[in-house]
Amino acid sequence: MNGGWIFLTRFLRDPIGVGAVCPSSRILARAMTNGLELSPGDTVIELGPGTGAFTGYIDKIIPDSDDYLGIEQDVKFVEVLNNQFPGLRVIVGQAEDTHQIHLDSGYKPVKAVISSIPFALVKDNAQIKIVDDLRRLLPPGSIFRTFQYLHTYRLPLAARFRRRMDEISTTFYRSKPVMANIPPAFVLTWIV
Ligand SMILES: C[S@@+](CC[C@H](N)C(=O)[O-])C[C@H]1O[C@@H](n2cnc3c(N)ncnc32)[C@H](O)[C@@H]1O
């Protein structure tokens, strides 16, 4: 099975959890990794790598593959990623537990979190838990980056997630719409 087909079958099984019908485009992957300046020893955590649309691009910009940690809730996706990226550590886990997973992992402090969690569909109680977890995880100067689709950007849960992130960070910026993606999306960056 190719990546796109696996993605679609997992979406049909769990549409809200997967949150998209197909993997993100290369253009969105470039926008998600654009301008991230990483030094050796900077930990990068990817939340919800799926079939790895961003993972190879993250691998290209991190000085050392040992500094990457992927956390994905879907066992099938983790299987795909472990085959495709044997040099990267991807585990089955929940974004809600990122701080504890990081503590247990022995990794150095986190410089960037690249997230694909579909926050426009994530209920308030889970959002609050994840943002509180990020507050404990992310040191000053670190970056949290995600994307939100244009058509879901104004949904109440999407807007509430942005407000919650604003509360734990100092700076926010939004990219121009990335039209070469299905569906088009904004890249959102917070600096803590
Ligand atoms: C929209 S897909 C993005 C996949 C991939 N990064 C891409 O851009 O093509 C969202 C991914 O987040 C994962 N996910 C959703 N909620 C999660 C959670 N609470 N913890 C970990 N992974 C989660 C889904 O299983 C899925 O792989």
Query: For the sheet containing 143-149, what is the strand order?
Result: 89-92, 68-72, 43-47, 110-115, 143-149, 185-191, 171-174
Domain count, the chain: 1
Q: Which residue has its alpha carbon closest to ligand 1 atom 4?
A: 50
Q: How confident is the model at residue 28 (pLDDT cuts 50, 70, 90)?
A: very high
Centre of ligand 1 to C-alpha 168, Å, is 22
Which tokens is 125 given?
Answer: 């109680």
Residue 130 beta carbon below 6 angstroms from any ligand 1 atom: no
Say if ligand 1 is within 6 A of residue 20 CB.
Answer: yes
Among the listed ranges 14-28, 68-82, 109-123, which one has the minimum average pLDDT value? 14-28
Q: Which residue has the tokens 């997973």?
A: 101
Per the prediction, the chain carries an average pLDDT of 95
The verdict on the CB of residue 50 being under 6 Å from ligand 1 is yes
How far apart (Å, rounded) are the C-alpha atoms in residues 112 and 54? 14
pLDDT digits (tens, 9 = 90+) for 137-172: 999 999 999 999 999 999 999 999 999 999 999 999
Quick check: helix, strand or coil at residue 73? coil
Would you say residue 4 has pLDDT above 90? Answer: no
**For residue 109, what is the domain's CATH number?**
3.40.50.150
Domain boundaries, position 153: 3-191
pTM equals: 0.96
